[in-house]
Amino acid sequence: MLKHKLKASFKAFWKNLRFNLSASDNPVFIGFYKYFYKPKKGSLAEFISEYSLSKKGDFYVIQIGANDGITHDPIHKFIKRDRWKGVLLEPQPDVYNQELKKIYQFNEGLHPICAAIGKEDGTQKLYKIGFSTMRWATGLASFSLEQIQDHFRNGVVALNCKKYGLEIPKDPKKQIVEVDVEVISPQTLIKKYNVSHIDLLQIDAEGYDLEVIKIFDIGKTKPRTIIFENENLPKEELEECYQLLKSNNYRLQKFGRDTLAMLNPPQEFERFFESGV
């Protein structure tokens, strides 16, 4: 137990240090990723890095499920390094106010907003862990009650509780809570922020990824690239997602838990799609 607590304390210290360095736009933090960082060859990070640099400071992102903006976030370093513009959505008010809004406070042209994406403007119920506000817990929040119940059944919640010295409440009402969160439609978002093009639609929606892609009506909005998590989608939904993307002229490549989709990849990025999906 002591070992777990010490490890958790060190992780919390390291997370806070990275967060503060990034939020303050510390030149050492930015300089590391600009001059020293080298992503692994053939990795998703290498694709994002090369794709970002190819846009020469004109990169526009829409991120669905931004959470704290840095933990397990595949695009944070590139947002900071190359000064991306765009809109970052996080529906949990506490996470948005305490973390996401702060970490991008000095990034001009980047708009963190406290909202989820949906078919229509309004509100929607979000299901979340009721007894912890740690990053692992807020990262499991989902519009699917079944999805978050699965995390209890498959041991994900128990594993994290053991890691951080927490106990799962016996009362089911304290295990999962529901909150009403703001919802914005793609049409409103595009109009409000005067979005002329989408270089990357980044999705981390805890099993809601297919729905987000459908909501965005990719045949019309045509994000040049889409990155989404594949591991939380049932096999049938994942196949439906892949077929929807392919029918709209996207090439696909799986990178572990993430899938990359690019609209008619130019020759310079062909090598990332050689094996394909």
pLDDT in tens, 104-115: 999 999 999 999
14 domain-assigned:
yes
Q: What is the pLDDT of residue 3?
A: 65
Looking up tokens 């060190």 gives 10
58 domain-assigned:
yes
Q: Whose CA is closest to 99, among 108, 110, 112, 86?
A: 112
137 domain-assigned:
no
Ranges in the chain, pLDDT < 70: 1-6, 8
Looking up tokens 């490549």 gives 253
CATH code of 69's domain: 3.40.50.150
Answer yes or no: are the C-beta atoms of 213 and 241 closer than 8 Å: yes
Q: What is the pLDDT of residue 99?
A: 95
207 domain-assigned:
yes
Answer yes or no: are the C-beta atoms of 260 and 44 closer than 8 Å: yes
Q: Strand, coil or helix: what is 184?
A: strand
Q: Distance between alpha carbon 187 and the CA centroid of its chain, in Å? A: 20
Burial class (CB in 10 A: 0-12, 13-18, 19+), 275: exposed
Q: What is the pLDDT of residue 2?
A: 60
Largest Cα span, the chain: 56
Answer yes or no: are the C-beta atoms of 120 and 183 closer than 8 Å: yes
129 domain-assigned:
no
Q: Strand, coil or helix: what is 234?
A: coil
| pTM (2 d.p.) | 0.90
123 domain-assigned:
no
Determine how many CB atoms are found less than 10 A away from the CB of residue 218: 22
DSSP 33: I
Q: At a CB cut-off of 8 Å and minimum separation 6, what does 10 contact?
A: none
Pairwise CA distance, residues 88 & 63, whole Å:
5
Number of domains in the chain: 1
b/e 163-192 (16+ beta carbons within 10 angstroms → b)? ebebebeeeeeebbeebebbbbbbeebbee
Q: What is the pLDDT of residue 130?
A: 93
Pairwise CA distance, residues 261 & 203, whole Å:
12
Q: At a CB cut-off of 8 Å and minimum separation 6, what does 103 contact?
A: 19, 22, 23, 68, 69, 70
Q: At a CB cut-off of 8 Å and minimum separation 6, what does 272 contact?
A: 42, 46, 47, 253, 260, 262, 265
104 domain-assigned:
yes
Domain limits at 41? 2-115+187-273
Q: Strand, coil or helix: what is 52?
A: helix
155 domain-assigned:
no
